[in-house]
Amino acid sequence: MWTPKAIARGLNKRMTDEFKILHLAATRPDLLTGMNGQPYGSTDVLINCPVIGFLDRRPKEDQVKPKRGDAVDTPRAYDR
């Protein structure tokens, strides 16, 4: 969580690099903390979201067909 100090300084920008986030949390707890001001660390939440990457070319059609009734039961759901 961005601290009020970081927000006041306009530093609360989107960060996508895991190592930059970890470095900031370790070196600047006055700017970035865990939930509710706790030290940055695990919240014991399990995220079951596989990472998929394509090395050569992006596929032109869905690689996995959703089963009827799935949460992503829409055309091209896996190609977004």
16-44 per-position pLDDT tens digit: 888 998 899 999 999 999 888 888 887 76
pLDDT, position 74: 57
Cα distances (Å, whole numbers) of residue 73 to 18, 49, 62, 69, 79: 31, 17, 12, 6, 12
Q: How far apart are CA 25 and CA 5, in angstroms?
A: 14
The phi and psi torsions of 58 (rounded to 5 degrees) equal: -70, 135
Question: Structural domain boundaries of the chain?
Answer: 1-80
pLDDT, position 30: 94
Count of C-beta atoms within a 10 Å radius of residue 28: 15
16-20 long-range contacts (CB < 8 A, ≥24 apart) are none
pLDDT exceeds 90 at position 11: yes
The one-character DSSP state at 35 is G
pLDDT exceeds 70 at position 71: no
Q: How far apart are CA 24 and CA 20, in angstroms?
A: 6
pLDDT, position 17: 87
